[in-house]
Structure 1
Amino acid sequence: MDSGMLGCKPSSTPMDSTLRLRNDASGYLDDPLPYRRLVGRLVYLTNTRPDIVFATQQLSQFMSKPTKAHHAAAMHVLRYLKGCPGTGLFFPRIYHTHVSSFSDADWATCVDSRRSITGYCFFIGSSLISWKTKKQTTVSRSSSEAEYRALASATCELQWIIYLLKDLHIFPSQISLLYCDNNSALHIAANPVFHERTKHLDIDCHIVREKSQEGLMKLLPVPSANQLADIFTKALPPHSFKLNLSKLQLHNIFAPPACWGLIEKPYHSGLNTT
């Protein structure tokens, strides 16, 4: 309310897919406190709104010296929220505890540092339970390297989820599946021989390969068009964003529950796991 956006025109996405935010030496806000306060609230909201995670992650990088362009991008997120205040996670009754996950990376996303963005999401059945968007700590020299670092992060998260479920005496009904849309990253995980170009990935390679061989998860390819973690690594155009959103089981609580069954079922629920 204190942002003065109650009468704004709603937006169909939280961030313009063509926008690239960067540190700018001009256009600094006279008072950065309102921007910081707004971004802090958005960060809190991401606990239940994974649809704004990427946009919020991008905005949170400029807390020290936000500019007018950053403020405009934050207002764009508010316009999106104005159009879908009732959107949230839906947890249907399930009769199995199968864990599936998607790992993705957007190579050299940051225009200031050229670091890549890691994104992943985890499901129990068709229910989204964990998600993350984070800039990688090092610069990747190839898209395969960026994807593999994301795969390693997702593997660590999967191991933690399995440990948590076991503490609750909940045991997955079958081996967990980890989908990746980069074949080179999958080949690195399956190849026991390190080449010169992949030696610097030694630690990440070891953890992914080790957990795969231990039977923690099964690595599978997925077409880029069906990569559910895409929404956590980049700003998508309206059509792709809405399609991805429905597959993440995000629904509008103000819509009749009967309509939820008309939404396309999550892609991962129909994948062949053999």
Structure 2
Amino acid sequence: MDSLVKLGATIGEPLSDINSYRRLIERLLYLTTTRPNITFVVNQLSQFLSAPTNRHQAAAHRVLRYIKGSPWCGLFYPSSNTHKLTAYSDSDWAGCIDSRKSITGYCLYIGSSLISWKSKKQTTIERSSCEAEYRALAATVCEVQ
């Protein structure tokens, strides 16, 4: 999803067939088990299951086009992998335009193989980007331990 696109609950026209949007998001959620690169955007799109709009559906179809255009971007576990643990974390401070809550995300690698990842809306509203980054780092450290 384009980083300049912000999805909100009231942006766009309401969909007449909500069930087709729900089925599409359900399938995208299933795909995140092997395509972690779509986890963030699917997390964002799944927040609008009760009242999706045409903008939400267009963004979901854009994810499908991305998946079709990048079949090589999946999980790969080579046999000659090193055993070095690497962790990355990030947050999107006040990323949800409706609640102003931040989004936390992290990835854990052993060698070049992804072994754990998460993208989740934080439960509290942070007052600064530093606090949001700290919470993301704390979630990453908890996963490493």
The normalised TM-score by structure 1 is: 0.51
Amino acid at match of 1:93: S
In 1, Cα distance between the equivalents of 2:71 and 2:141?
A: 33
Partner of residue 57 from structure 2, selected from 56, 71, 75: 71
Are the aligned partners of 2:92 and 2:132 in contact in 1 as well (CA < 8 Å)? yes
Q: Retained in 1: the 8 A contact 2:104–2:121?
A: yes
Query: Helix, strand or coil: the match of 2:74?
Result: strand
What residue number does 1:30 align with?
16
Q: Secondary structure at the match of 1:87?
A: coil
Between the two proteins, the alignment pairs up a number of residues equal to: 145
**Radius of gyration: which is bigger?**
1
Question: Following TM superposition, by how much is the alpha carbon of 1:104 offset from its aligned partner in structure 2, in angstroms?
Answer: 1.1
In the other structure, the counterpart of 1:40 is 26
| Uncovered stretches (5+) of structure 2, i.e. residues with no partner | none
Residue 137 of structure 1 aligns with which residue? 123
Structure 1: gaps (5+ residues): 1-14, 160-274
Which aligned segments of 4 or more residues in structure 1 are displaced greater than 3 angstroms? none
Structure 1 residues 129 and 24 mapped into 2: Cα distance closer, same or farther (>3 Å)? same
What secondary structure is seen at the aligned counterpart in 2 of 1:129?
strand
Instruction: Please state if 1:110 is matched with 2:96.
Output: yes
Corresponding residue of 1:119: 105
Deviation at 1:86, TM superposition (A): 4.0
SS at match of 2:126: coil
Residue 71 of structure 1: how far off its partner (Å)? 0.6
Equivalent AA in structure 2 for residue 141 of structure 1: R
Give the corresponding residue for 1:100: 86
CA contact (8 A) 1:94 1:125 kept: no
Mapping of 1:7-26 within 5 angstroms?
15-24=1-10
SS of match in other structure, 1:132:
strand
Equivalent position amino acid for 2:59 in 1 = A
Q: 1:77 to 1:26 in 2, by over 3 A?
A: closer
% identical equivalent positions: 59
